[in-house]
């Protein structure tokens, strides 16, 4: 073994068991470098330390290993599942990583299919919401008390499906509170998108039939559903119930039209995922297309990080086996990471063959058999070719955008005479102030590095203790909070503190003057501060750059790549500030619901309180005696309100 590592680490490697398991490498700072799995831990881990890997990517990683952790498991499949759980949670530097994007939307049918059978009409005879299930768009964890269909690749796909259910089966979409307070049918009933259950225009039994048919449609049982509806239509006609027969006929016509428009596959496929992978120019794309209920619902592209590092490392992991093509490595990494915690359809169609152990592990996790086919026929072949084409298009677009973004970064560095050691590491921070008529003032800081916005490093600052509407004071406060401790660290020489290469300020001379005062007080380099001043008529493309170190203002030109990048970063800071301010404002407004949560306060008393005191803050500042002046508020309730709000 090489002597470049600590003896205790090498001894730990020598003592590893010849059992299946998962290993993790850490650097001296405790950051995880790599997570891997092995049939035999001792053989696999030792292979990293038994030779000199030189200046390769493998050698670069191995030289950083300071600590090792291992976990023994019972099987290779178990090791694979644990490996990818750890990859998702630890984000190692040298593994293929996919962004954790599990915000898939679902289509939700309220109730579990039995509530309407047990529902008892209210004393007033008004329909109960639980008697008539509602169809809705949903994101979040699923609950057993409701029925969910999906996941869908996009919000658009869910909303389109809801519109189809409204057209064909006329299910309600209104909230329960709206449903319970209707006295006449809404516009959706008038345009034949709802059957009017809120005012008893359809019986619970008939509505339950529509719900059942909608479920069968979503499950892909279209042919059986059409045959059943035809039988119902004929039965109504035999009983001379021609209006009921016409209603069923209209449903069948609408359903047939939908099936024709959607090109629904009426074969055996109901739920299928189609996965196509493409690799080019050091980047990779996995395009996931979803078929649900026999309907192709669209696709979504995923772009992994660290593809080249992981591909290089695979050579040392098992020298007895030929190195897997990078496409196979990427697709297997996607499948193992993506299907953690979300439903897996029983059929997967892949553009390359994947390891049977991976498919077995997914089956074990799902609790049912999953089949993966990489050379499909007929309709499946059409789906796969569509997904492959989309993967090609989206990867080409990504490479073009990245090339364009790098050109913008270079143009800005040249225009402002910035000379970073590495253009990829050019670090820019941008600040903006936002408020509503002086209230809820917030400052935003966004970060640009490695040719893209780094959203995980964005920060918002609540600005307090200033005159409402004083943007200069707000800017002074946020810059002091952002760079005060950093300046101390730079003076003391402790740690690896580093200022950004450029600090952009959304504003002109006034804002830049305030930033100059802060940086002067902190002893920081003034040349890093640049203000983005709006041009004549505040038109986009006419912005001028204002410098804190005394240089003359600069207009880069409407078509300047450098100005495009400045505008992009400035606009992102503005967007981030606005969303934060709106969230803060909504939080204040939601204080009204906090009042309603107080025992004894319902909607009417809440409305009277807000009207009497002019809003939530007025109620909060009111004394017990003030509260007693509101109709319906007793002393006991006034004291309860006061205590709850203080």
Write the pLDDT tens digit of every residue in 278-304. Answer: 998 778 999 999 887 777 778 889 888
CB neighbour burial string for 572-591, b if at least 16 within 10 angstroms, e if fewer = bbbebbeebbeebeeeeeee
pLDDT value of residue 538: 64
CATH 3.30.420.340 fits 423-587, yes or no: yes
pLDDT 10s digits, 371-414: 999 989 888 898 999 999 999 999 998 888 878 888 888 888 88
pLDDT value of residue 120: 46
Q: What value does the mean pLDDT take over residues 245-252? A: 74
**Secondary structure letter of residue 128 according to DSSP:** P
pLDDT value of residue 295: 75
Distance CA 478, CA 461 (A): 7
* Residues 343 and 363 sit within 8 Å (Cβ to Cβ): no
What dihedral angle (degrees, nearest 10) is formed by the CA atoms of 221, 227, 232, 237?
150
Scanning the structure block, which residue is given the tokens 């059978």? 117
* Residues 59 and 87 sit within 8 Å (Cβ to Cβ): no
* Residues 79 and 21 sit within 8 Å (Cβ to Cβ): yes
CB atoms near residue 643 (< 10 Å): 10
Distances (CA, A) of 560 to 48, 407, 411: 49, 11, 8
pLDDT value of residue 353: 93
Q: At residue 607, does pLDDT exceed 80?
A: no
> Helix H segments across 372-508?
378-415, 471-492
Q: Across the chain, what does the average pLDDT equal?
A: 81
Q: What is the CATH number of domain 590-645?
A: 1.10.150.20
pLDDT > 70 fraction of the chain, expressed in percent and rounded? 85
CATH 3.30.420 fits 272-395, yes or no: yes
* Residues 90 and 35 sit within 8 Å (Cβ to Cβ): yes
Distance CA 213, CA 207 (A): 10
pLDDT value of residue 261: 45
* Residues 581 and 438 sit within 8 Å (Cβ to Cβ): no
* Residues 245 and 237 sit within 8 Å (Cβ to Cβ): yes
Looking at the chain, the domain(s) classified CATH 3.40.1440.10 span 7-76
Taking phi over 0 as left and psi of -120 to 50 as alpha, with beta for the rest, 197 belongs to: alpha
Range among 7-11, 103-107, 118-122, 390-394 rated most confident:
390-394
230 Cβ partners below 8 Å, 6+ apart?
A: 252
Distance CA 363, CA 339 (A): 11
Distance CA 255, CA 77 (A): 44
Q: How many residues does the chain have?
A: 646
pLDDT value of residue 54: 66
Scanning the structure block, which residue is given the tokens 């450029």? 502
630 Cβ partners below 8 Å, 6+ apart?
A: 605, 608, 609, 612
* Residues 160 and 296 sit within 8 Å (Cβ to Cβ): no
pLDDT value of residue 254: 65
Distance CA 355, CA 462 (A): 51
Looking at the chain, the domain(s) classified CATH 3.30.420.340 span 423-587
* Residues 227 and 213 sit within 8 Å (Cβ to Cβ): no
Nearest to 388 by CA among 318, 289, 303: 289
Of 61-65, 313-317, 397-401, 436-440, the poorest mean pLDDT is in: 313-317
pLDDT 10s digits, 609-628: 877 776 677 788 788 888 88
**Secondary structure letter of residue 63 according to DSSP:** H
Q: Which CATH number fits domain 7-76: 3.40.1440.10, 3.40.640.10, 1.10.3720.10, 2.60.40.10?
A: 3.40.1440.10
Q: What value does the mean pLDDT take over residues 357-380? A: 89
């Amino acid at each position: 073994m090489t002597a470049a590592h600590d003896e205790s680490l090498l001894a730990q490697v020598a003592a590893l068991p010849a059992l299946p398991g998962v290993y993790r490498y850490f650097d001296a700072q405790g950051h995880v470098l790599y997570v891997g799995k092995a049939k035999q831990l001792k053989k696999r881990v030792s292979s990293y330390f038994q030779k000199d890997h030189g200046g390769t990517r493998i050698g670069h990683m191995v030289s950083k290993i300071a600590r090792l952790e291992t976990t023994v498991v019972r099987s290779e499949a178990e090791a694979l599942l644990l490996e990818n759980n750890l990859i998702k949670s630890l984000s190692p530097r040298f593994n293929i990583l996919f962004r954790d994007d599990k915000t898939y939307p679902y289509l939700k049918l309220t109730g579990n299919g039995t509530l309407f059978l047990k529902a008892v009409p209210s004393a007033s005879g008004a329909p109960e919401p639980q008697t008539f299930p509602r169809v809705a768009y949903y994101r979040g964890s699923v609950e057993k008390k409701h029925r969910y269909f999906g996941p869908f690749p996009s919000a658009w796909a869910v909303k389109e499906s809801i519109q189809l259910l409204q057209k064909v089966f006329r299910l309600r979409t209104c909230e329960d509170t709206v449903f319970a307070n209707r006295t006449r049918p809404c516009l959706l009933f008038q345009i034949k998108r709802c059957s009017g259950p809120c005012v008893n225009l359809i019986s619970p039994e008939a509505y339950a039939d529509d719900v059942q048919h909608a479920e069968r449609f979503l499950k892909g049982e279209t042919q059986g559903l059409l045959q059943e509806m035809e039988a119902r239509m004929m039965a109504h006609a035999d009983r001379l119930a021609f209006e009921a027969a016409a209603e069923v006929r209209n449903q069948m016509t609408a359903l047939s039209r939908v099936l024709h428009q959607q090109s629904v596959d009426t074969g055996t496929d109901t739920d299928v995922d189609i996965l196509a992978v493409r690799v080019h120019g050091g980047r990779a794309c996995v395009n996931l297309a979803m078929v649900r209920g026999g309907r192709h619902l669209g696709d979504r592209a995923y772009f992994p990080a660290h593809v080249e590092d992981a591909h290089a490392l695979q050579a040392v992991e098992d020298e007895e086996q030929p190195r897997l093509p990078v496409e196979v490595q990427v697709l297997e990494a996607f499948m193992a990471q993506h299907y953690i915690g979300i439903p897996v359809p029983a059929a997967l169609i892949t553009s390359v063959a994947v390891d049977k152990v991976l498919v077995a592990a997914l089956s074990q996790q799902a609790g049912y058999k999953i089949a993966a086919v990489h050379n499909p026929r007929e309709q499946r072949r059409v789906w796969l070719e569509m997904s492959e084409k989309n993967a090609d298009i989206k990867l080409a677009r990504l490479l073009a955008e990245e090339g364009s973004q790098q050109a913008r970064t270079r143009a800005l560095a040249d225009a402002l005479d910035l000379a970073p050691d590495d253009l990829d590491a050019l670090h820019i921070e941008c600040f903006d102030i936002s408020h509503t008529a002086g209230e809820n003032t917030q400052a935003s800081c966004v970060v640009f590095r490695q040719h893209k916005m780094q959203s995980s490093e964005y920060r918002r600052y609540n600005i307090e203790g200033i005159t409402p509407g004083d943007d200069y004071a707000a800017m002074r406060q946020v810059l002091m909070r952002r760079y005060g401790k950093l300046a101390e660290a730079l003076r003391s020489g402790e740690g690896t503190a580093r200022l950004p290469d450029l600090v952009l300020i959304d504003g002109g001379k006034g804002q830049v003057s305030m930033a100059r005062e802060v940086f002067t007080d902190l002893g920081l380099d003034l040349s890093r501060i640049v203000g983005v001043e709006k041009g004549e008529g505040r038109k986009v493309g006419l912005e001028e750059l204002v410098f804190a170190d005394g240089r003359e203002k600069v207009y880069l030109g409407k078509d300047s790549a450098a100005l495009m990048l400045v505008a992009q970063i400035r606009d992102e800071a503005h967007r981030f500030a606005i969303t934060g301010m709106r969230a803060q404002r909504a939080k204040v407004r939601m204080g009204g619901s906090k009042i309603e949560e107080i025992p004894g306060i319902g909607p009417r008393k809440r409305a009277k309180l807000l009207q009497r005191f002019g809003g939530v803050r007025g109620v909060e500042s009111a004394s017990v005696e003030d509260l007693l002046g509101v109709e319906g508020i007793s002393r006991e309730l006034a004291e309860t309100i006061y205590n709850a709000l203080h």
